[in-house]
Structure 1
Amino acid sequence: MKIRTSSHCLPRDDDGRPSSDAVSITQWDGGFIAALADGAGTAAAAREAAEHAVTMIGTHYRSHPLGWTPGKALRETVRMINRGLWNESLARFARTEMVCTLAVALYDEGILTHLGIGDSRIYLLRAGELQQLTTDDIDPLQTNRLTKALGAGESLSATSFKMSLEAGDTLFLCSDGIHHHLPDDAIYEALASGTSARHLAKQARDASPEETRDDCAAIRIDIDSLEWTARREDHQLPVPEKLAAGQKHDGWSLIRSFGANDRCWLAEREGCRQVMKFAPLEAIDQAAMVEAFLKETWNAIRFSEEAPFVKAWENPARSSLYYNMEFVDAPGLANLLKQRRLQVDETVQLGHFLAGTGIRLLRHDLLHGDIKPENILIGSAYDSVFFKLIDLGSSCEVFSRNSRAGTASYLAPERFKNAPISERTEVFSIGVTLYEAVAGQLPFGQIERFQTPNFRDPKPPGTHNPLVPPWLDAVILRACAIDPEERYSHFSELLFDLANPQKVRPWHPAKAPLIERHPVLFWKCAAIFLAILAVVLAIRLGSASK
């Protein structure tokens, strides 16, 4: 296909203040995605929200599973962005601040899919007629009040629409700063005469009175020609029931499965190796399991370019439901721990890795959900070690899960009482993993899946490994504290203590005796008590002698 594009964001005034609007256009062979967002308000948070929204649209849509239609992938991406903005607003401002409108025009698989949230609009100019494709989400009684916006609520129901495009069509995306001050006939005349997005934005700003002037953003896309784009078949790929060594799938021979999971295999073809992860057996007759696997695929692919994770991709010509991952020739941490404990410096490095990876996922509103040695690869690089986190099958949005999903021995105590998954519960899993890595055993023992354990304060890791310094004892015990209020609240707090051993506070459980929590205070109190007791006894002895 051949298209011509122009886009521009124009601030309300020429006073150096940046625009609160944002635009992006991403193109590939046979498709494009254009996004325009208008920050709700003039605060820096609104501008951040708009820039984040258009950046994430372009970044994450292209990594969606092949099993999703363009509309499904677009709606899922928008839902993810909305929840991320909502949670970031609460975390940073304790109120709704990061809010914006959104308009998206997506051309993929030969179909135009469009979506509008708020009052940013999409127009289509075709054969001399201008049509508004989106509907404004405005309160009919208060025309300045949005009924729907990105980041304004914890959940968002976005509806996408699809239609065909034709050569000669023009798509126009704009913020309310334009359509509030330019009527449709003025927009039509500007588009028909070939006016660029920049000049249209300036025309709207010049036409607006001072009291209603606003930032102006626009994207213009002219469709010169369209090529045929292959449509992916809508039927679901089959799920293989039995997998065995020697079987071939799309030219790859299965060599061996990983661990007890016979759905994840090492495969080889012409001397090259890769990992193939197949959908679970339950996906054969459970649509929910198919959807969960496709979501896992999406997460694996969109994070595969980041260092903590292995690379992942999909084979467009696959004959069954699976995705591919690079084969990292490194043992699992669980297998290594059967041979030896980690050294202190390796344990500290592991803590840095897990907390840092948690922060990366949290930026996308996600938590891993199953941190444990079995999901960590450890390899050697010259004179140091490196780690990789695998298996995003349990990953989920923060606060979205109240079940015991995960591995029982690494679940925070509150998860057994239906508390939602959170940053604190992930910190607990990290703490248990670090304890096991350096001490050679679990702090709370082996816990079965359906067991409701009675947690007791564990012994310091240093009692099992005399090489563990007191400061690391304190960090690990604080990370896996039974009471969530005594635990690190954020990954960043754990990272800070790991990087600053001299600033780590001694750790004592809240119920510990005073002599353990504050020994100096205890002995001061004891000395004062004994002094008072001595004075009282002296007075009584003096009285008795008289």
Structure 2
Amino acid sequence: AYRWLDGELQRISEDHVWEQPGMQHVLKRALGLDQHLVLDFLDGPLREGECFLLLSDGVWATLGDHSIGAILREQSDLELAVNTLVNAAHLAGSQDNASALLVRIDQLGAATLGDALVQLQQWPLPPPLKVGQTFEGWQVQSVLAQSRQSLLYRVHDAQGQPWLLKTLPLRCDDTDAAQALLSEEWFLRRVAGRAFPEVHAASGRQHLYYVMREYAGQTLAQLFQQQGPLPLAQWQSIAERLLRAVGLLHRRQILHRDIKPENLLLGEDGELRVLDFGLAYCPGLSEDRAHLLPGTPSFIAPEAFAGEQPTAQQDLYSVGVTLYYLLTGHYPYGEIEAFQRPRFSQPVSASRYRPDLPEWLPHSLERAVTAVSAQRYETAEEWLLVLEQADRRELSVRPRPLLEREPLKVWQTLALASLLLNLVLLYWLMHH
């Protein structure tokens, strides 16, 4: 990988190969080669107009940095530059794979959460908005929700599309609440994808709020209220999509900290979306919020009650309780009230409430909600693999033979029947 700026070529990565003669083609660091993955990491400001170049060794090892720089100086067109690099490598006798990728930074986005928080000083809170009023290009339809630290309006854009405008009540002059609101918007922009609400670009904003798209559908809490415990096929589909979404969050270094059925929306378009980033946490950015006990007590991991720092395992515990509840209507350790100091021993197996479950499923849930965080899944992807590899034919659920499920009862019944038969035979022999 190279950085190309103002006619200067700077190599920003090294090839991880053995230096000994005849060993230069052998990788010493590759995915799966060692128990740990070590990353090269560079940090620095991006500049408009700078380019980044990625080359396979079939190009850089053949041409050398001097020739690569000369070609980039000649060719300002990105497509022509990479084609010239590859062709030059072939002409110079390269027998290896020759690949080149060149990207140019045309424009810098709103850089960081820090930049967003600086704008706090510039933006006043919106005045109370009335139904029918137009505010900064938004047509106010209704007030959807209001609490001490949050105010949610349904609004339409100029095309009549539905959006949600989130701000703070006017009497809320809490700087922490304002920071949390901007953090929430920043997190949603950072995880942009189908599993999360879309945030409006809102370039002409003059007040402290953000706007996200409204989706038709129902939360998983509403779905459960309507139909009770989910059928296995539907549950599996939801579980896989939820784990993919949570995995994406964690790869972006964001911990949600409030995963529960109320914050998961099953859209009419079939997408599952993770809502409400009000308690989300990013290491290094949200340290002032790390000590806050997150979310709803029944979904909080045991170690969070003990005051430990937020981790991915705590999110996966919440996912585990959520999926357990959607399957059984119960909590693995019983419902926990806000004022309780809960004790965690052994979770109740989901098969107690759902005898129809295939054998692997209660085990996978028990691992997710175990009280010892080190014994849980390390990543969402690890758990997803367990779900995807589980025998899908088991989801049609062929009940296991009674002898497998209740061996003791079967043998006790057979022994009792045998004893009765012997008594009848004995009685018959004595009277004949």
TM-score if structure 1 supplies the norm length?
Answer: 0.51
Which structure 1 residue ranges, 5 or more long, are not aligned? Answer: 1-19, 26-33, 45-88, 108-113, 115-119, 121-176, 182-186, 202-216, 223-231, 504-518, 521-546
Q: Which residue of 2 aligns with 1:277?
A: 166
Q: Which residue of 1 aligns with 2:59?
A: none
**1:397 counterpart = 2:282:** yes
Cα deviation digits, residues 156-194 of structure 1 (max 9, x gap): xxxxxxxxxxxxxxxxxxxxx98xx9xxxxx9xx9xxx8
How many angstroms apart in 1 are the aligned matches of 2:361 and 2:131? 44
Q: Which residue of 2 aligns with 1:257?
A: 144
Q: Which residue of 2 aligns with 1:326?
A: 213
Q: Which residue of 2 aligns with 1:443?
A: 332
| SS of residue matched to 1:405 | coil
Shift of 1:455: 2.0
| SS of residue matched to 1:366 | coil
- Gap change, CA 1:438 and 1:241, over 3 Å in 2: farther
Q: Which residue of 1 aligns with 2:248?
A: 360
Shift of 1:414: 0.7
Cα deviation digits, residues 302-338 of structure 1 (max 9, x gap): 333x121121113222342222212110011122222
CA contact (8 A) 1:300 1:392 kept: yes
CA contact (8 A) 1:277 1:323 kept: yes
**1:105 counterpart = 2:78:** no
Q: Which residue of 1 aligns with 2:373?
A: 484
Q: Which residue of 2 aligns with 1:459?
A: 348
Q: Which residue of 2 aligns with 1:428?
A: 317
How many angstroms apart in 1 are the aligned matches of 2:105 and 2:194? 36
Shift of 1:264: 2.3
CA contact (8 A) 2:191 2:248 kept: no
Shift of 1:282: 8.2
- Gap change, CA 1:103 and 1:309, over 3 Å in 2: closer
Which structure 2 residue ranges, 5 or more long, are not aligned? Answer: 18-30, 53-63, 86-100, 107-115, 393-406, 409-432
Q: Which residue of 2 aligns with 1:239?
A: 125
How many angstroms apart in 2 are the aligned matches of 1:312 and 1:444? 37
| Residue of structure 2 aligned with 1:297, choices 185, 199, 203 | 185
What amino acid sits opposite 1:358 in the alignment? Answer: V
| SS of residue matched to 1:314 | coil
Shift of 1:249: 2.8
- Gap change, CA 1:477 and 1:220, over 3 Å in 2: closer
- Gap change, CA 1:264 and 1:498, over 3 Å in 2: same
Shift of 1:409: 2.0
Cα deviation digits, residues 114-141 of structure 1 (max 9, x gap): 9xxxxx9xxxxxxxxxxxxxxxxxxxxx
State how 1:172-251 maps to structure 2 within 5 Å.
236-240=122-126, 242=128, 248-250=134-136, 251=138
| SS of residue matched to 2:315 | helix
What amino acid sits opposite 1:327 in the alignment? Answer: E
CA contact (8 A) 2:48 2:105 kept: no
How many angstroms apart in 2 are the aligned matches of 1:220 and 1:469? 52
Shift of 1:376: 0.6
Higher relative contact order (CA 8 A, sep 6+): 1
| Residue of structure 1 aligned with 2:239, choices 323, 334, 351 | 351
What amino acid sits opposite 1:21 in the alignment? Answer: Y
CA contact (8 A) 2:130 2:140 kept: no
- Gap change, CA 1:219 and 1:392, over 3 Å in 2: closer
| SS of residue matched to 1:42 | coil
CA contact (8 A) 1:36 1:104 kept: no
Q: Which residue of 1 aligns with 2:222?
A: 335
How many angstroms apart in 1 are the aligned matches of 2:10 and 2:309? 31
CA contact (8 A) 2:219 2:263 kept: yes
How many angstroms apart in 2 are the aligned matches of 1:451 and 1:106? 54
What amino acid sits opposite 1:324 in the alignment? Answer: V
| SS of residue matched to 1:309 | coil
CA contact (8 A) 2:165 2:211 kept: yes
What amino acid sits opposite 1:499 in the alignment? Answer: E
**1:371 counterpart = 2:259:** yes
How many angstroms apart in 1 are the aligned matches of 2:8 and 2:145? 41
Cα deviation digits, residues 28-74 of structure 1 (max 9, x gap): xxxxxx99874353228xxxxxxxxxxxxxxxxxxxxxxxxxxxxxx
What amino acid sits opposite 2:46 in the alignment? Answer: V
| Residue of structure 1 aligned with 2:14, choices 41, 44, 49 | 41
- Gap change, CA 1:343 and 1:298, over 3 Å in 2: same
What amino acid sits opposite 1:394 in the alignment? Answer: L
Q: Which residue of 2 aligns with 1:414?
A: 303
Shift of 1:431: 0.3
| SS of residue matched to 1:339 | helix
How many angstroms apart in 2 are the aligned matches of 1:391 and 1:36? 44
- Gap change, CA 1:221 and 1:472, over 3 Å in 2: closer
How many angstroms apart in 2 are the aligned matches of 1:196 and 1:242? 56
How many angstroms apart in 2 are the aligned matches of 1:291 and 1:445? 35
| Residue of structure 2 aligned with 1:386, choices 267, 271, 288 | 271
Cα deviation digits, residues 69-100 of structure 1 (max 9, x gap): xxxxxxxxxxxxxxxxxxxx9xx864754223
- Gap change, CA 1:221 and 1:439, over 3 Å in 2: closer
How many angstroms apart in 2 are the aligned matches of 1:437 and 1:220? 47
Tell me how large the CA RMSD over aligned residues is: 4.7
Shift of 1:398: 5.3
Shift of 1:502: 4.3
Cα deviation digits, residues 474-516 of structure 1 (max 9, x gap): 221211111213322221221112112249xxxxxxxxxxxxx
- Gap change, CA 1:101 and 1:372, over 3 Å in 2: closer
What amino acid sits opposite 1:239 in the alignment? Answer: L
CA contact (8 A) 1:303 1:309 kept: yes
| SS of residue matched to 2:212 | strand
How many angstroms apart in 1 are the aligned matches of 2:170 and 2:9? 41
- Gap change, CA 1:377 and 1:478, over 3 Å in 2: same
What amino acid sits opposite 1:419 in the alignment? Answer: E
**1:268 counterpart = 2:268:** no
Shift of 1:258: 4.5
| SS of residue matched to 1:267 | strand
Q: How many residues align?
A: 332
CA contact (8 A) 2:317 2:369 kept: yes
| SS of residue matched to 1:324 | strand
How many angstroms apart in 2 are the aligned matches of 1:470 and 1:303? 35
CA contact (8 A) 1:264 1:276 kept: yes
Where is the strand percentage greater, Structure 1 or Structure 2?
Answer: 1
CA contact (8 A) 1:238 1:284 kept: no
How many angstroms apart in 2 are the aligned matches of 1:414 and 1:367? 15
